[in-house]
Structure 1
Amino acid sequence: MIHQHPLAYLLGLEGVALLRAFAGEHDEEFVAARLAEIRSLLEDAYELGAGGPATELTSAEAYGWWAGGYDAPGNQLIDIEGPIVRSLLDDVPAGVALDAACGTGRHAEYLAGLGHEVVGVDSSPEMLAVARTKVPAGRFVSGDLASLPLPDDGVDLVVCALALSHVPDLRPVFAEFARVLRPGGSLVVSDPRGRLGDIGLPIVVPGPDGGMGFLPNRSRLASEYLAAALPLGFEVRHCEEPMRPSPFVDPDGVPPGAAGAAPPLTPSGRPPNIWALHPLIPEAANAAYQGSPVAIVWRFQLTS
Structure 2
Amino acid sequence: MIYEHPLAYVLGLEGVALLRAFTGHHDRAFVEARLAEIRGLLDDDRLASDGVEVARVDTVEGYRIWSATYDGPNATFALDEPVVAAILDELPTGVALDAGCGTGRVAAALAARGHRVIGVDSSPDMLDRARARVPGGDFRLGDLRRLPLPDGAADLVVCSLALTHVPALGPVLAEFARVLRPGGHVVVSDVHPEGVARGVVPPVRRADGAPARVATYRHPIGDYVRAALAAGLRVRRCEEPPLPDPGPAAEADPGPPAGAGAGREPGPWDTWPWSLAGLVPEAARAALAGTPAVVVWHLQRET
State whether TM-score is above 0.5.
Answer: yes
Find out whether 1:142 has 2:141 as its counterpart: yes
Please give the residue correspondences for 1:239-258 in structure 2 after superposition, counting only pairs within 5 Å: 239-247=238-246, 250-251=250-251
With over 3 angstroms needed to count, the CA separation of the structure-2 counterparts of 1:94 and 1:193, relative to structure 1, is: same
TM-score normalised to the size of structure 2? 0.88
Aligned to 1:257: none
Which consecutive residues of structure 1, in runs of 5 or more, have no partner in the other structure?
A: 255-263
Paired residue type of 1:273: W
Aligned AA for 2:221?
A: A
Q: CA deviation at 1:60?
A: 1.8
Using the TM superposition, give the Cα deviation of residue 150 of structure 1 relative to its aligned residue in structure 2, in angstroms: 1.4
Aligned to 1:111: 110
Contact 1:193–1:200 (Cα < 8 Å) also in 2: no
CA distance in 2, matches of 1:45, 1:202: 27
Letter in 1 for 2:250: D
Q: In the alignment, which residue of structure 2 is the partner of 1:261?
A: none
Change in CA separation of 1:145 and 1:237 when aligned onto 2, cut-off 3 Å: same
What do residues 123-150 of structure 1 show as CA deviations (whole Å, max 9, x unaligned)? 1222222222221111112111111111
Q: Report the counterpart of residue 225 of structure 1 in structure 2.
A: 224
**What are the superposed Cα offsets for residues 56-98 of structure 1, whole Å, 9 maximum, x if unpaired?**
110122222222222223x332211111011111111111110
- 1:198–1:220 CA contact under 8 A, matched in 2: no
User: Is the counterpart of residue 37 in structure 1 residue 37 in structure 2?
Assistant: yes
Paired with 2:186 and 2:302, the residues of 1 have a C-alpha distance of 11
Q: Which amino acid aligns with 1:101?
A: G
Answer yes or no: is the 8 Å Cα contact 1:7–1:46 preserved in 2.
Answer: no
Unaligned runs of 5+ in 2: 255-265
**1:256-295 counterparts in 2 under 5 A?**
265-266=267-268, 273-295=272-294
State the alpha-carbon separation in 1 of the partners of residues 250 and 132 from structure 2.
Answer: 35
Aligned-residue Cα RMSD (Å) equals 2.3
Cα distance in 2 for partners of 1:161, 1:228 equals: 17
AA of the residue aligned to 1:148: L
With the length of structure 1 as denominator, give the TM-score of the two structures: 0.88
| Consecutive aligned runs of 4 or more in structure 1 exceeding 6 Å deviation | none
Report the Cα offset of residue 244 of structure 1. 1.6
Q: 1:284 to 1:197 in 2, by over 3 A?
A: farther
- Give the Cα–Cα distance (whole angstroms) in 2 for the partners of residues 112 and 181 of structure 1: 18
Deviation for aligned residue 1:241:
1.3
Q: How does 1:119-134 map to 2 (within 5 A)?
A: 119-134=118-133
Q: Summarize the Cα distance change of 1:278–1:250 in structure 2 as closer, same or farther, 3 Å threshold.
A: same
Aligned pairs for 1:1-304 within 5 A:
1-47=1-47, 50-73=50-73, 75-195=74-194, 201-247=200-246, 250-251=250-251, 265-266=267-268, 273-304=272-303
Counterpart of 2:259 in structure 1 is: none
Instruction: Verify the 8 A CA contact 2:243 2:291 in the aligned structure 1.
Output: yes
State the Cα distance separating 1:250 from its structure 2 match. 3.0
Question: Helix, strand or coil: the match of 1:14?
Answer: helix
Deviations 1:171-217 (A, max 9, x none): 11011111111111111111211346955654332235532222233
The 1:195/1:45 distance shift into structure 2, 3 A limit, reads: farther
Structure 1 residue 47 displacement after superposition: 3.9
Distance 1:107 1:206 in 2: 26
| 1:170–1:228 contact (8 Å) kept in structure 2 | yes
Paired-residue identity, %: 51
Q: How many residues were matched structurally?
A: 291
